[in-house]
Each structure stands twice: as C-alpha cells, then as structure tokens.
Amino acid sequence: MNSIAHSTLAAASPTIRHDWTREEAAAIYHAPFADLMFRAQTIHRQTFDPNQVQCNQLLNVKTGGCAEDCGYCSQSAHHDTALPASKLMEPAKVIEAAKAARDAGATRYCMGAAWRSPKERDMAPVIEMVKGVKALGMEACMTLGMLTDDQAKQLADAGLDYYNHNIDTSEEFYASVVKTRSFGDRLDTLEKVQDAGIKVCCGGILGLGEKPTDRVEMLRTLANLPQHPESVPINMLIPIEGTPIAQSATPVDPFEFVRTIALARIMMPKSDVRLAAGRTAMSDEMQALCFLAGANSIFIGDTLLTTPNPGDSKDRALFNRLGITPRDDLGVHAHS
C-alpha cells in the first residue's frame, strides 16, 4: 500500500462493529448517493490500497447433480437445466489448472463441488487438491456445501485458507429461494469453519426477487457475526433457463447494486468485497463505481462455476483504463 492516494486518507483506523441495527444499516444504504460513496471510499482507504484489486480464479471440480434445490442454480438435480452431472475431478488436473491460473495472475484459487455436503470418501482427494494449490504458493478456497466439525478440521489441517458458504439473502426471504436447507444450517457451517480456524468467504446474490430490505439484512447478518467474513462476494443473478427463479427474476438497478457494495464496505471495513457473478452484464462504468464503493476483489478467467465471466483481456483493459493493478499476494503464501 504505497500509493499517495491511499496514504492521504489512511491515517484513521476503521471501527469494527458487530452490533448494527436494522435502522442504522438501512439509513446507510438509502443515504444520498454521493454521501454514501464518499463514506465507503474513505473507509476503504483506511485499510486497502484503492488502486489494487485481488484476483481469484474459480473452478468447478464437481458439476451438477446437487441434492439442494436452490432456485437460481443450474447444478441442482431438482431443475431441468440440461447440465450433465460429473464426477469429482482428479486432483492432478485441478492442480494443473491452478498453476495456469497462477501464471495468469490469480493469487487465490477457489474450488467448488456441487454437493449438499461431502461424503467421507470425498475428503482425501479434496485434501490433495488443497495441498497441491498451497504448494503453488496460492491461497486455497473450497466450497463443498455443509460440513461436519471433523471435515472442517481436516480441511484446516490440510492448510485450507478460505471456505465459501454464501447465505444468499436475508433470513426472511431465504425460504423463497431454498427449501432443502434452512438459513440456520448455513450459519451453523460458518461457525464450524471459523471454529476450525479457516477464514470465511460469505456473501449473497442480488436479483432473486428480493427487496432492498433483504439486501440490507443479508449484510447486517454477516456484519453482526462474532467475526466478519474475510471475503464477502456480491453476485448479480444470471438467470439460467430451467431454474425456477429465472422465470421471476427482475434486473437489479445498477445504483442499487453499487449501494450494496458500499454498505458491505462500510459495515465490514477489513473484508475483501468481491464482484462475483454477473460482471458480464455490467458496464465498465458500473464496475468502476463498484470499485469506488469499496469492491477490491474479482474473479478472473472466462467462466465461473457454470456462468460466463468477462475474461482476462477485457479485465486487463478495464484495469488499465482505471489505473488499477492486481494485488500481489503470492509472495506471502509461497512455500518454496
């Protein structure tokens, strides 16, 4: 963090709170846009270099056939999306893909498996993947569904840095999105992960048919956890034919999306706030506003789990236009 622009406003240290009220959070979200952006950018500069963005890459290591009925997801066995189910990838192929991602500029490698929860037989190859990614000097992130205490400990012992487990939306709206598990189930796994000493990656999706209140409450839930998630991905729904929510999804107003990013930054000052799915539908100007509002992390590459992503050349062009450079975390995590 050596830019002049960063040091100008970085003197104060942001206040970390876990007691946000509904009224406080809503007032921030609905503040005049210029005031909201100024507050979010000021807080952002107290912890992060505003001209650096962390780059992650995501790989689907096991596709489709998931027992959960998430209304937005193409990988659910409950939906007719023509997505074939696959077996878990061989660890060697995952590690080879991670090396290519590292060479393309990714510093964190995220691996996702379409499971309700992993079976014990799945843990050995998953652990091999984690160790292989770590040996490349990268941060390793997994999303495998719900975990037991023992599975969380196994992943921690393998050196897993982050576990992704999104809460998707507010507790009030959650049952409209998913019926095969409860909001409390999600929080239970987050607690297991944190107790095991693994960092948490947890956020949500905009465009599910939720109200602004649901967006605010989703972030308030995360900000009021005993420990803030170290990463907060904010996704914009990409409607997928064959999923229930694709029929009722409503486009998210760009300014409402930016307000959500800003609220995440203000309430969780030290968390990485990530622009996740949906960037293909965002203009460069919208993404620039998100970075100004405190987003400091993206997924690179052409695809996410089953949806498109802008691709490296487009991201490089945008970064060049904005004077943004990828955050170099590799040296911190190198094992050799």
Q: Which of 55, 110, 202, 290 is catalytic?
A: 110
How many other CB atoms sit within 10 Å of the CB of residue 292?
Answer: 18
Q: Which one from 45, 55, 70, 102 is the annotated catalytic residue?
A: 70
Q: Which of 39, 45, 73, 220 is catalytic?
A: 73
The annotation status of 316 as a binding-site residue, yes or no, is: no
Burial class (CB in 10 A: 0-12, 13-18, 19+), 147: buried
Residue 116, annotated as binding a ligand: no
- Give the closest residue to 233 by CA, choosing from 144, 162, 306, 184: 162
The DSSP letter of residue 252 is P
Alpha carbon distance 25, 228 (integer Å)? 16
Among the options 55, 102, 141, 186, which is catalytic? 141
Q: According to the annotation, is 290 in a ligand binding site? A: no
Residue of 39, 108, 201, 279 marked catalytic:
201
Catalytic residue among 39, 55, 66, 215: 66
110 is in an annotated binding site: yes
CA angle, 331 then 332 then 336, to 5° = 60
Residues 6+ apart with CB under 8 A from 26: 213, 216
For the question of residue 73 being annotated catalytic, the response is yes
- Determine whether 110 is an active site residue: yes
Active site residue 201: yes
Q: How far apart are CA 222 and CA 186, in angstroms?
A: 12
Query: Which residues are marked as active site?
Result: 66, 70, 73, 110, 141, 201, 274
Annotated binding site for [4Fe-4S] cluster: 66, 70, 73
Annotated binding site for [2Fe-2S] cluster: 110, 141, 201, 274
Annotated binding site: 66, 70, 73, 110, 141, 201, 274
